[in-house]
Chains A and B, each alone.
Chain A
């Protein structure tokens, strides 16, 4: 590993206890700039919990989390977003009754500089800002291929496009790090393939760093630079996809799981 690259996200011995249960135990993770890193593991391995600590939903009981060199333990999710971290949700949480364009526009609000009154009174600076937001949103929609649906109500989009919109909304916050929570959940093979391509494109064209949790092995193996494997809250392996595929511990942990799917 070329460790001269810039560290975007780092967790050091991150743990969390719920009562007596240790959901994540001393998990250390590094994500470098321009990398795609995946966290995998069987159900209940603590992936989502780890994700929730990184995104500020939970505060770790022990350990530290750094975003771009800055300690972020227990910082509220909205502040994290303003510091350059954006996420999607496993069960798609779009603003369902709003239009596609509005969803993306809301993603821009975090960088809004004009205050409430200058915005509502449409003072020149604020009006210009609104205009730029709109322009940038349309560009973003074009990039993700949703421009033609900009005036549709978000919940009317087909499932695959809703995923895409959720990612676009996250990108609108101009993140340094994009976190994807099971982006392929509920997708059919064609949609998954399109998604794989899409994630690649985001990395290449937007120079994005991506951390994802995923169940879908094929997707993970295709796009990840490195993979961390969790089981019962502990890391059991990490490395490049090839190493993981042949790691006996991982195979053992996954045997039952593979059959199920």
Chain B
């Protein structure tokens, strides 16, 4: 987006951004409009759009580690859980906490703290980043598949803690009554900030250093790149992003419990990243929207359908089968995904390809 932000297409880009944000405000009216007009597509759609945007942040978080740095981490659910629980505990009012923690009273140090959502979200992100930093020390020294298992393990440990630390997390019952006042506008602003951050970062020396690790660790190290340090940078930022996404998710849904952060969540995120194209920022965002919306749309395969004489009884769970078949098909037949490792650009959309010097001077190659 940034690279070929040609003067020519600048007005188009600005127009698109304005339209996008106008839509965001229309699906979830804020400020003076709040209460005056109804969400144009109804509450159900605005909720799905909100969740999609949050998953887009999660997908970007995973893409940072898996797509750019070439590490295979499945720790996102753990980081999201940290963010979500932090946010829940900070935004619940003391009275609400008493009501929620009825099995075992909440730990005294948590009982009376209260913070606005923005603060809670950032604190959640920071805690997740700290978690990433601590876990990064042992696991980032591991290669490919070991890292996958170890990060998965981390995520499971967090979940097990959430189930057992009754006085902090309310155990398996989870926490409900979380204030759900987060607006679509706020989510999209955060998403935009994160996207711009990523785009800029990938154009700097640090971004290129991450890519070089993905391309060839041995060569990257020989070029003087401190592998551990750069992997850690990617991992901690990814943790932070997953943390704020978790916080936002808690605020949209209003109730969290450990089951939401099973490692199957990591698979869903993986599907988003792979579908969009590993290593593509635009890809992760598009992938997240497609997958989240498709999950809703595909609900029809769980329901009975009558098309004329044909009666389909509706099989509950079929949706996830279709979904996993989709993941397999993408991996097996279309592993580049929608964007490959490229970014969205008007030039590409309008079919103008950059000319290659090599092809022009055919004899040279």
Binding site for B on A (CB under 8 A): 55, 76-79, 81-82, 86-87, 89, 93-98, 102, 105-112, 116, 119-120, 122, 126, 129-130, 133, 148-149, 151-152, 156-158, 169-170, 172-173
Contacts and interface: CB of A to CB of B under 8 A. Distances in A.
B209 interface: yes
15 contacts: A89-B219, A95-B220, A96-B216, A98-B211, A105-B205, A106-B209, A106-B220, A108-B205, A109-B225, A116-B206, A120-B201, A148-B357, A149-B358, A157-B358, A158-B365
A152 B224 contact: no
Q: Is chain A's binding surface mostly helix, strand, loop or mixed?
A: helix
Contacts of B104: none
A213 B254 CA distance: 65
Interface of B: 197, 200-201, 204-206, 208-209, 211-212, 215-216, 218-227, 233, 341, 354, 356-358, 364-365
A152 B221 contact: no
Nearest to B198: A120
B206 A156 contact: no
Contacts of A55: 222
A106 B208 contact: yes
A152 B208 contact: no
B200 A130 contact: no
- Among B197, B219, B224, chain A packs the most CB atoms within 10 A around the CB of B224
A89 B226 CA distance: 19
Contacts, number: 112
Given A95-B216, A151-B354, 9 more contacts: A78-B227, A95-B211, A109-B205, A109-B225, A130-B204, A130-B205, A133-B205, A156-B365, A169-B223
Nearest to B197: A120
Contacts of B201: 120
Given A130-B204, A157-B358, A95 B227 contact: no
B218 A93 contact: yes
Q: 7 nearest interchain CB pairs?
A: A110-B224, A81-B224, A95-B215, A93-B219, A106-B212, A77-B221, A120-B201
A130 to B, nearest CB: 6
Contacts of B341: 97
Contact of A122 (B200, B212, B233): B200
A156 B220 contact: no
A229 to B, nearest CB: 26
Given A81-B223, A110-B223, A156 B358 contact: yes
A87 B224 CA distance: 10
B212 A110 contact: no
Given A93-B216, A119-B206, A173 B224 contact: yes
A141 B50 CA distance: 47
A61 to B, nearest CB: 22
Given A78-B225, A152-B358, A119 B204 contact: yes
A96 B200 CA distance: 22
A96 B70 CA distance: 14
Given A95-B219, A98-B215, A149-B358, A105 B224 contact: no
Contact of A76 (B206, B215, B221, B354): B221
